[in-house]
Structure 1
Amino acid sequence: MTTKMRSEIAEQPAALRDTLDALLPRVDEVRRLAGQTRHLLFVARGTSDNAAVYGRYLIEARAGRMCALGAPSIATTYRRRVDLDGVLAVGLSQSGRTEEIVETLDWAKSCGAKTVAITNGGPASPLAEVADLALCTLAGEEKAVPATKTYTTQLAALAVLALGVGADVNADDLQRVPDAVEKLIDDPGDLSAVVEGLVGKPGVVVSGRGFAFSTALELALKLKEACYLHAMGLSYADLLHGPIAVVDEDTPAILVAAGEGPTLPGTVALAERVTGAGASAFGVGGGTSLAAAATAALNGPDLPEWVAPMGLIVPGQLLTEALARRLGIDPDAPRGLNKVTQTD
C-alpha cells in the first residue's frame, strides 16, 4: 500500500516546476517592494519556520541583508509595538490560515513593515489577503499531515524572494531543481540500511550547518512527527559545544551537507569523529566524501549549495516515511497532529 506521504513526495518535481513557472516572472514585483526596505523579518511556525531558516541563510549569505526569525508571541501574546520601518516582513504558512501568523503579519504592517506572504493556500487565503504581496506556491492539496511538497515549494518561493532582494546567484540553477529532486526520488541511496540503523533507537541527532541547517531542522521535525523519535536538530557548530556527548551506540547521528561549500569539510570531520567513537553516522548528501566517512549514506542532489536544500530534504522525507512504516506507524496521520495548527 502506498501512503499519501509517499505519493506526495513523488509529486514534488511537478509541484516545483509549477511553482517556479508561476513565481519567477514575479521577481520584479519583489524587487520593487523590497527596494523600500533594508532588513527582513520572517514570521512562521513549525515546518514553515524551518523553511525560513533557509531564507535567512540565503539572503544574508548571498544578498547581504540582515534577517531575523520573528517571535509571533511579541505580537499575539505580549502585544507590544516594535518599530519595523524599513523592514520586509515575510509570513510563511502552508495553509495560509494559521491565525497566529496572519495576526503577526498584520501587526508587522501596522508597525511600519512591508509585507510578503508565502503560502500554498492561494490568493484568497487570509495570509495572502493581509500581505502587500503574496507568493503563492502551487503544490496542490497536501493530504498527509507531515508536510513534504508544501515545504520544498516554500523553499522555491524563498529562492524567488532572494532573487528579488538582490541575491548574487545564478537564477538558472533553479531550473535544475525539479530534475534533481526526481532523480533522488528514484535513487535515494542506501535507504534500507539507514532505516534499519534507526530501528530500536530511542533518539537521533540530526546536524548540518549553513544552508543545510534548515534541512537538519526539518528532518528532525519529520522524525519526531511521523516516527515518534526524540530527534534533535542542531547546527554542527552547536553540537560540538557539548551536546555531542549524547551521540553514542543508542543515539546515532544523521549528518546533512550539500555536495559543495564551506561547511562540507566540517561535516565530514564530524562523521569521522562520531564513527571513531563507536556510534553510527548516517550521511545525507555531502557527495562521496561524506558517504565514505559515514556508516551508511543517502544521496544528495547534484546542485549548487544555494539551491541544494530543495533536494537535500527529499531523501530525509523518504527515510521518514519508510521508517514510520517499518515501526508500524501510519505516517499520514501521526498521533496528536492536525494539518493546520492554531496556537493559543
Structure 2
Amino acid sequence: MCGIVGYVGGRPARDVITKGLKRLEYRGYDSAGFAAVNGDLQIFKTKGRVSALEAMIPDAFARGKGAFAGVGGAAGSGSAAGRPGDPDLSGFGSGSGNTGAKSGNASVDPTTDHGAGSSASVVGTQSGTRGYSGTAQSDSSQPGTAAASPARDASGEGRELSIFEEDEFAHLRERPAAEGRGSHPDGVSAAAPASGRSGAGKGDVAGPVEPDLANVDLSHIDMRELPADFVPTVSSSALRRGEDAAVVARALAPDAATEILEDASRRPAGNGHPHPAYGVNILHPDSHFVNSSGTSPNGNAVWAALGHTRWATHGEPNDVNAHPHSGNDGAFALVHNGIIENYAALRTELERKGHVFASQTDTEVLAHLIEEIDAAIDEDFVTAVQQALSQVEGTYGIVIVHRDMPGTLIAARKGSPLLLGVGDGEFFVASDASPIIEYTQQVVYLDDEEMAVVTPDGYEVRTTRNVPIRKEVHQLAMDLEQIEKGGYEHFMLKEIFEQPRALADCMRGRLLVEEGRVQLGGLQPVMDKLLGARRILIAACGTSWHSALVGEYLIEALARIPVEVAYASEFRYSDPIIEPDDVLIVVSQSGETADTLAAMREAKSKGATVIGVVNVVGSTIARETDAGVYIHAGPEIGVASTKAFTAQVTVLTMIALHLAQHRGTLPQEEFAAIVRDLAAVPEKISEILEQNEAIASLSRTFTYAPNFLYLGRSYNFPVALEGALKLKEISYIHAEGYPAAEMKHGPIALIDEHMPVVVLATADHVNEKMTSNIEEVRARKGRIISVATPDNAGVAALSEFMITVPQCHDAVTPLLSVIPLQLLSYHIAVARKCNVDMPRNLAKSVTVE
C-alpha cells in the first residue's frame, strides 16, 4: 500500500529518496514525507504527491557530489562553551549539544544570538573526490593573511582551496548594523575581500542587504578542533551558477583569515514547514582538514535518510498524519507500512504516562512506544525498538533514523515487505525493488520478525528477539528500462502493449510446441501431491481472483480435478475444511498481498500443499510456498493490472495442460491444438493491438456513460468481471460483470438506450446462447459493443460496435477477449482526464488486511 525508501551513503539524500518515492507512488500517494540525519535530524512532510514534498526539501539535502567532509561543532557541557544550536537557524547538520559534549573539543562564542550550534566547513574543488574534516588550528597573530589554508587528503597530499572574487560576498560585507544579528561584539565584520585587503574594519558593517538573504545569520566561531558531523554546505553564489556542490568560497575578515560558508537551505519552522533562513559560519585561519569517518569511501558526505508515500488507513490524508512520525522529544523519525491493530490500547496507556499525540495514526503510537521504552531501559536504541515491536499486534514494515546514530538506518518487518539493497559503500531499504534498481541489483529480503541495522560499512540482520541471522544476497531479475515509460503516455498503455513479449517470456522453455507437451519444473517437487489431490483450492484478490476463476474453468475442463476459488480476504473467516490431500494455489502479482499471505498460511497450518503463482521474484509468497511458477511478466507499475492478468491466465492454462498431460484426460489431438493456439497468443494479441486507434475512437462515444454492463459465458465470464473492474478502477464509471444468462435475473431491468453493454462472443461452444443474449439487449435499446471473431456475422449484424479478435481454441479465448476491454477502459479514462496509472484511493500492492 504505502511506499518506503531508506538510504545510507554519499549520494544526495533528497534525490535518492524522492526519485525512489516517485517510483512507489503507484502503491498509494495521499501524502509523502522525508527525514534525514546528517549531524541533525530534519523532517519534511506534506499532503499530496512526492513532487510537492520534493519542492519543500532544501537544496542542502541535494548535495553529495565531489569532496564533502562534514565538520561541525556544537556547544554543550564539559570543555565546550556555549549552548546547543538553534534547530531553525543553525547550519544543517549542526548537531545538538550532545555532540559538543561528547567531543569535548568544540569552542563556540556564546554571545552570538542564533546559538552557534553549527560550524560548518566543506573543503575541496569542483572535481575533487575526497572529503575533508578533522582538526582546525587558529593563529590570530597573522591578521589579514591572504593565502589560502593548505588542505591535505587522507594520503597526506596537499591541495589548494578554491578562492573566489570578493564581490561574491559583498552582500554580507555590506549588511546594515540594524540587521546585523550575527555581528560579533568585538567588531569582526562578516567578510572581507579574498584578496587580503582589509574589510570594513572594526564595528558594525553597513550597506544594503540582498532581498534573498534577509535572514542571514552570522557567527564568529573560535574553533580549535572540529569533530565530524557530516555537514554539507556550499556558497549560494556557486549554487546559482549551477556549479558542483563541492565548491567552497574563501574570504578574509580584517583581523583574521576566515572561511565563509553558506548553508543555502530553507530551515523548517516548528510546524515542519520551511521558512527562509541561512546559516553562515566563519572559521579562523590556518585550518587543516584530513579525511575522517564523516565521509563515505568515495569522499562524499554520509547521509542517513528515509521517505514514505502514504495510503491512509488511520486518519485522513493531511500533513499531520503523513509519515515520518516522531515521539515527543523528536530524537528519531519513523516510517511505517501496515496496521498496528492494538494501537488504541497502546495510545491510551501512553497518554496516561504523559505522551502527547499530534496525529490520528497508528504509526505515531509506535513511535511514542519506542520513545517510552528507550527512556525506561538502560539499553541501546535498537533494543528499545525490539522491545516495542514485541508489544505490537498487527503488521509492520518500518524504517527509523535517529539523530544520535548518524549514518544508521534501522529496519524491521512483519507482514509488510522490506528489502535491503546492497551497494558499494551504500545501502538502501525499500518496500519493493523499483526505487533501488538504478543503484544496485543485489538485494537481501527480510522475512517476518526480522530487523536490520544498516550503516555505510555494512548491515547486520537479526530477529526481533535479537538472534543473529545470516541472509542470502539475491540478484534482481529486472532492470531500469523496465520501470520507465519508454515513450508511452502512461505505464498502463505501455504494459498493455508489452503483453505479446510478456506472454512469450512466460511460455519460453515451458510450452514445448514441437514436442507437444508442457514442462513446469517449478511444480516438480509437488507433482505427486497435485496428481493425487482430492481437490484444488485457488485463493486470490482483485484481478488475480478473476484469473483464478479462469483457472477453475480450465483445470476442471482439461484436467478433470475439482477446483474451488475463494476470495483470499474471506478464506480464513469461513473456517475452511482443509485436508492434507488438498492443494492450494495462491495467485498474486506482487507476492505480498496481505490477505493472500494469510490464506496461504492458514492452509499450510492445516496441512495443505501450497503452490504460488506470482510475478515478483523473491517475494514472500515465492519464499514461503512449497512450490510455484513465476509468471515472468516483468515489473507492472500501473495500478490497474493488465499484463499480470494475462500472464497469470497463461500460467494457469499451462498448469491445467500439465495436469491433463499427466492424467491423460485430453485426446492428444485436442491437447496439441490448445498448445499450438496458446503458443500463437503473442502474435494474435499484436493483431488486436493494431485496432488501438479504432478502439480509442469508439471509447469517445461512451466517455460520459454513467454505467456499463459486461456479459460473458464459460471461460469469458471471468473476463467480463475483469473488464468491468478495469473500467471502474481507472475511469470511475460504475460497471458490473455478469454471466450472460444471469442478465434475465435482475440486470435486464437496467438496460435502456443509455446503457452500454459489452458482450463477449468469442467462444464457439456458447456462441448461439450469446447471440440470443444480444437480441435481448437490442430489444431494450441497449447499446451493444461486441467482442467476437471476424467470421461471426450474426453478432456483427446485431451490434452497434464490434471489435474483432482472431479465432482460437475456446480454452485460449480469455487471453484474447480481455485485450479490447483493457484498451476500451484505458481510452475512456484518458478521455475523462482520469489519473490512469494511479487512480484515486487505489494502491498497486495491498499489503494491509
- Relative to the length of structure 2, the TM-score reads 0.39
Distance 1:190 1:274, change over 3 A: farther
Pick the aligned partner of 1:280 from 783, 794, 815.
783
Report the AA paired with residue 98 of structure 1. T
User: Greater strand share, 1 or 2?
Assistant: 2
Match of 2:731 among 216, 227, 234: 227
- Pick from 516, 527, 543: which aligns with 1:47? 543
Instruction: Give the superposition deviation at 1:245.
Output: 1.1
The answer to whether the 8 Å contact 1:23/1:157 transfers is: no
Question: Which amino acid is 1:12 matched to?
Answer: Q
TM alignment of 1:61-100, pairs within 5 A:
61-73=557-569, 75-77=571-573, 80=575, 82-100=577-595
Give the equivalent residue in structure 1 for 2:805.
Answer: 300
Amino acid at match of 1:318: L
Cα offsets for 1:70-121 (capped at 9, x unmatched): 243455446x362333222110000001121122112212223222110101
Structure 2: how far apart are the matches of 1:40 and 1:101?
16
User: 5 Å matches for 1:155-170?
Assistant: 155-166=649-660, 168=666, 169-170=671-672
Secondary structure of the residue aligned to 1:333 is coil
2: CA distance between counterparts of 1:38 and 1:179? 37
Q: Are 1:257 and 2:744 an aligned pair?
A: no
Alignment of 1:25-174 (within 5 A): 25-26=519-520, 29=524, 31-73=527-569, 75-77=571-573, 80=575, 82-122=577-617, 124-166=618-660, 168=666, 169-170=671-672, 171-174=675-678
1:190 Cα offset (Å)? 4.3
SS in 2 for 1:308: helix
State the distance in 1 between where 2:635 and 2:569 align: 29
Q: Deviations over 1:11-58 (max 9, x none)?
A: 000000001115443167274441131311110000000001100111
Matched, 1:207 2:711: yes
Query: Per the alignment, in what secondary structure is the counterpart of residue 520 of structure 2?
Result: helix
Whether the 8 Å contact between 1:275 and 1:281 is mirrored in structure 2 is yes
Helix, strand or coil at the partner of 1:338? coil
Query: 1:302 offset after TM fit, Å?
Result: 2.4
Which structure's CA Rg is the greater one?
2
Distance in 2 (alpha carbons) for counterparts of 1:278 and 1:200: 18
Local SS of the residue matching 2:680: helix
SS in 2 for 1:117: strand
Q: How many Å separate the matches in 2 of 1:225 and 1:268?
A: 29
Higher mean C-alpha displacement, 31-40 vs 261-270: 31-40
Percent of residue pairs bearing the same amino acid type: 29
The answer to which structure has the higher helix fraction is: 1
TM-score by structure 1 length?
A: 0.93
The more displaced of 247-256 and 48-57 is 247-256
Q: Which residue does the alignment assign to 2:506?
A: 19
May I ask how many residue pairs the two structures share in their alignment? 341
Distance in 2 between residues matched to 1:232 and 1:46, nearest whole Å: 14
Aligned-partner residue type, residue 336 of structure 1? N
Q: Cα deviations across residues 156-203 of structure 1 (Å, max 9, x unaligned)?
A: 110111012216333222111111111111135841453133222100
Kindly provide the amino acid, as one letter, of the partner of residue 799 in structure 2.
Answer: A
Q: Which of the pair has the greater relative contact order for Cα pairs under 8 Å at 6+ separation? A: 1
User: 1:301, 1:312 within 8 Å by CA — same for their partners in 2?
Assistant: no
* Contact 2:751/2:781 (8 A) holds in 1: no
Whole-Å Cα distance in 2 between the matches of residues 221 and 74 of structure 1? 19
Q: Which amino acid aligns with 1:332?
A: D
Code of the residue aligned with 1:277 in structure 2: it is R
Counterpart secondary structure, 1:140 = coil
Q: 1:188·1:299 contact (CA, 8 Å) conserved in 2?
A: no
Report the 3-state secondary structure (helix = DSSP H, G, I; strand = E; otherwise coil) of the residue aligned with 1:70: strand
| 1: CA distance, partners of 2:657 / 2:581 | 19
SS in structure 2 at match of 1:262:
helix
Letter in 1 for 2:568: P
Aligned partner letter, 2:847: Q
The answer on whether the counterparts of 1:272 and 1:294 sit within 8 Å (CA) in structure 2 is no
Gaps of 5+ in 1: none
Where does structure 2 lack aligned partners over 5 or more consecutive residues? 1-487, 512-518
